[in-house]
Amino acid sequence: MQQSFFTFLTNYSIPNFISKTENIKKLSMEQKLSLALQICYFTENGFLYDEEDQLKDYLKQLTADSNQEVRVLIANQLKSSRNLPHEVALKLAFDINKVAVPIITYSPQLTDSDLIQILDDIKEANKLVALTQRNNLSEEICFKIFSMKDLNLIINVIKNPTSQVSFELYRVLINAYHKDRSFLTALSLRNGLDDKTLRKLALELDAEAKKNIIRHFNLHVNRSTTPFCPTNITYFEDHPLHEKENELRKRVDQLYSQNSLNNAIIIHFLCKGDLYSFLYSISKLSEIPFSQVKFIILNHLYTEEFKKLFYSSGLPTNFMAAIQAILNAIIIGVKEGENTNKENFSSSMRRFIKENKIDRKMEGMSYLMKLITRR
């Protein structure tokens, strides 16, 4: 047996005693662990030519072995490997804690879709905590974790210096958890969350949260309230903070209850700069939370996620590209600090279309521009 292992290590060949894959189940524990170490070595360093398929097959068999020691060894050896087959990484992520935790924490082979599946299907606390400790958690995954409303997981994400938490997500979290000391402590240690950002956040929080944040971080801010603007998407909240927001929601709710919330009205909202009513209408028709509609439009405007949202709202599909262009213009204006409102919305849109050479011949754009420019 020792000679067989020596041959494998020196000539990159499979040991003689497992020349038939079905023999793996008959190996002793010592042989399985030795084989697993060798397979991990060659996996980490790249599969070798004609051995590749065979090595993959052995790896799949070993990760299905009934003895957890073998699976634990493989998970720890290959937790950071970019050569670990995706299907094997995903299988290990749903194994027992000892196997799953290192894979969930470190494996670069797990995609955002995999992580969402884990968050949806797994309930073990250790695995969920492991997920919050991954490097470079995307904003989408952070949003998914925050939506679970588990404060321990939220605090772990805040403590993770590489997690991608947007300004909008900070604002939602602070409004919800500003009374919790552990949350505030994690927030105070957060990289990149300096006094300037905190002062900007404080201006957009509800009254009680604003008071607590100012006191906790000893901030000096201009206490004047930010006026509500139905065109500025960054100020929209899941729960209305201004009377004007309540009025706009009541109007949409009434139209919805009377079965009068049709495509013409929703498109009219958009073309008159009332982005708030446009988003809220989509939320009503698609039955997707307002905050999620906002998040998708802000962060996933040209993805399948937006397409699904658009289709579920019932808006005309042939107008989608034109509506995306208008929404993109609004978002770019907001990010560049342009003070777009209902009064200057028409001129801002005309300028954006011209400066960015948007094809006015795309289906629906001519109709939308007529509505935008009409007094």
Residue by residue, pLDDT tens for the chain (375 residues) are: 344 433 444 344 454 445 544 567 788 888 889 888 988 888 887 664 445 677 788 888 899 888 899 999 999 999 999 989 999 999 999 999 999 999 999 999 999 999 999 999 999 999 999 999 999 999 999 999 999 999 999 999 999 999 999 888 999 999 999 999 999 999 988 877 887 788 888 888 888 888 888 888 877 655 444 555 666 676 676 666 667 788 889 999 999 999 999 999 999 988 888 888 999 999 999 999 888 898 898 888 999 999 999 999 999 999 999 999 888 887 777 666 666 666 677 787 778 777 777 777 788 888 888 888 876
Residues 237 and 368 in one domain: yes
Q: How many CB atoms lie within 10 A of CB 358?
A: 18
- Domain count for the chain, please give it: 2
Residues 310 and 213 in one domain: no
| Residues present in the chain in total | 375
Residues 206 and 293 in one domain: no
Residues 259 and 351 in one domain: yes
Residues 162 and 268 in one domain: no
Q: How far is CA 14 from CA 52, 72, 193, in A?
A: 11, 22, 53
**pLDDT value at residue 241:** 62
Closest among 188, 186, 185, 134 to 164, alpha carbons compared: 134
Predicted TM-score of the model (pTM): 0.57
Is 21 contained in some domain?
no
Residues 271 and 210 in one domain: no
**pLDDT value at residue 31:** 87
- The encoded tokens of residue 89 equal 């990484």
**pLDDT value at residue 193:** 83
Is 55 contained in some domain?
no
Q: Is residue 30 within 8 Å of residue 42, measured between CB atoms?
A: no
Is 302 contained in some domain?
yes
Residues 254 and 305 in one domain: yes
Domain range holding 273? 233-373
Return left, alpha or beta for 137; rule: phi > 0 is left, psi -120 to 50 is alpha, else beta: beta
Q: Is residue 270 within 8 Å of residue 326, measured between CB atoms?
A: yes
| Chosen domain end from 226, 250, 276 | 226
3-state secondary structure 76-93: HHCCCCCCCCHHHHHHHH
Residues 242 and 188 in one domain: no
| Chosen domain end from 226, 248, 274 | 226
Is 199 contained in some domain?
yes
Closest among 146, 152, 88, 145 to 122, alpha carbons compared: 145
